[in-house]
Amino acid sequence: MSLYSLGFVVFMLALLAAYYATGRLLGRGQWVVLLLGSLCYYCLAGSWQTLVYVLFCAVVTWLVPLALKHMDRLCAAEREACDDRAARKRAKARWQRRKQAVMLLGLLMAFGVLAQLKYWNVILYQLGQASSPRSLGLLLPLGISFYTFQSVSYLLDVYRGSDEAETNFLRHLLFVTYFPQMIQGPINRHAELAPQLLAYHAWDTQRARRALPLIGYGMLKKFLMADLLVGPISRLLDAPDAAAMPGSWAVLAILMYSAQQYGDFSGGIDMVEGISELLGIQMAPNFRRPYFATSLADFWRRWHISLGQWMRDYVFYPVALTRPLRALGKRAGRAGEHLGRTLPACLANILVFLIVGAWHGAQAHFIVWGLYNGLVIALADLLKPAFSAAAQRLGIDSRSRGWHVASVIRTFLVVNVGWYFDRVESFSLSLALLRSSVLSFGAAELPRLWSSALLSRAEHAQILLAVAMAVAVFCVSLCQERGHQVRTRLLAWPLPLRWALYAFVGLLVVATSVLHVGGGFMYANY
């Protein structure tokens, strides 16, 4: 049951009616309706068999924090019974080691299931045993990475003492299974999301008026910018003779892939955020106009924000602040203060992006893509003084509008080079396409693509429609980047004009979905 199906519309209308009727009649208990609705959605959109995995993750990440808090109480009681400071210190260290063991066990169980489901079949394929009876033979459960990362963040926050353990399993299960986040994320934090899930929410017409345009905008990005480009991209990059295509064709395919990814992922996030707003719940932001970034690091602070924050808090800082890396930084500091300060962060960044690459998939091209991003960001940090000195010698004002625009264009190019490794499954083919893109671009070959039999007339029209939608998205994003509240301005339009726009959007969505040119969300089974 996809977000844009008639079945989902019926499901959502029934859930909203039950949700707000329960709140109006009882004044409480809405979270129970939301839990039942989330479990129903998971079964309808995925399968009841894969519900076992989400329940396992929920049980593990509920029991482990409770065990940690129980161990804290036992530790406090034992330390209180000690006669001297040394004994209390030994008791604290002993219980801390036990807590670490329990926490690591919880992490292994949660991430172990994710790793087996994501990588076991890939490993067998690489070993030439794809048809082995040991193959799992199932698709990844819906949203497994999102609910696993979210649940583990709660476990780690309780371990660190920055969050309280939830004693009610059903309330914790709602936090894990809250259905809008299952498709595309974001990865919400327990301290921010759980109180909203359990709070009473009254129907708010103004909130619904703001949510519906966001859902419609997300659908337009998904259908008119992402789905329409799936076929043309595949025909170019998945062709048997793709290595021989002109560089201009490869560049066009990668630019279309860039638009497809953005439309699919950010469009999906708009839809789930709007759906969550209808329920009175604000989820963590996940996109902030990433193609207006001025550096690759800035891009990743704007693209999939919640994943970046998760990696920052639970991987980057713990690694960068480890004793070996701090010692390495001190030794490197003898060669220069900047090197000593940035080297630990650079190494931690490379590790983070290797993990992000592996999260996308165990195939080699994803690992290369992650390494590319990590190395570019690390080198940019290490060479920052040299870049600043060069800009000063050349008389470049880094605060000028022209330099800002140049930085945005440079970052866009750097990001799109990375997409070669992300989209093209063969590393050698990605290098061949990159080489032809730079050394034999062949702009004169572009018209030949339109007259060739590679793309049909329908696909020509699809590309033109997607380009038109991409231009519209760029204009909206530019307004938002300049601080304009686009939704607020839209809601100020006269009612007939606004509803005419809604009807037009609805017709576009229906017409595009009837074509069946796209598919599900790219990140639905991550």
Give burial (CB, 10 Å; 0-12/13-18/19+) of 339: middle
Is 69 contained in some domain?
yes
Please check whether residues 322 and 311 belong to one and the same domain: yes
Place of tokens 């140049």: 406
Please check whether residues 504 and 375 belong to one and the same domain: no
Please check whether residues 20 and 161 belong to one and the same domain: yes
Paired tokens of 406:
């140049």
311, 301 in Cβ contact below 8 A?
no
Low-confidence ranges of the chain (pLDDT < 70): 1, 4, 46, 120-141, 512-519, 524-526
Q: What SS3 state is found at 287?
A: strand
What is the length of the chain?
A: 526
Indicate the residue among 203, 238, 253 that finishes a domain.
203
Please check whether residues 217 and 239 belong to one and the same domain: yes
Place of tokens 């939830």: 166
Please check whether residues 157 and 197 belong to one and the same domain: yes
Please check whether residues 461 and 504 belong to one and the same domain: yes
Is 296 contained in some domain?
no
Please check whether residues 22 and 144 belong to one and the same domain: yes
Number of domains in the chain: 3
Please check whether residues 217 and 314 belong to one and the same domain: no
Is 391 contained in some domain?
yes
> CA-CA distance, 512 to 129, in Å (whole number)?
40
For residue 474, what pLDDT is reported? 95
Report CA-CA distances (Å) from 224 to 286, 396, 502: 21, 40, 15
For residue 524, what pLDDT is reported? 65
Is 340 contained in some domain?
yes
Is 78 contained in some domain?
yes
Please check whether residues 257 and 313 belong to one and the same domain: no
Please check whether residues 97 and 17 belong to one and the same domain: yes
Half-sphere exposure of 31 (CA within 13 A, CB side): 19
Q: What is the tens place of the pLDDT at every residue in 163-211?
A: 999 999 999 999 999 999 887 789 999 999 999 999 999 999 999 999 9
Q: Give the domain range for residue 360.
A: 303-423
Please check whether residues 372 and 511 belong to one and the same domain: no
Q: What SS3 state is found at 303?
A: strand
Paired tokens of 418:
């990375």
Q: What is the tens place of the pLDDT at every residue in 233-283?
A: 999 998 888 888 889 999 999 999 999 999 999 999 999 999 999 999 999
Please check whether residues 198 and 215 belong to one and the same domain: no
Is 288 contained in some domain?
no
Report residue 8: phi and psi, to 5°.
-70, -40
Indicate the residue among 169, 203, 237 that finishes a domain.
203
Paired tokens of 349:
């960044």
Indicate the residue among 203, 220, 235 that finishes a domain.
203
Q: pTM for this one? A: 0.90
Is 291 contained in some domain?
no
Is 290 contained in some domain?
no
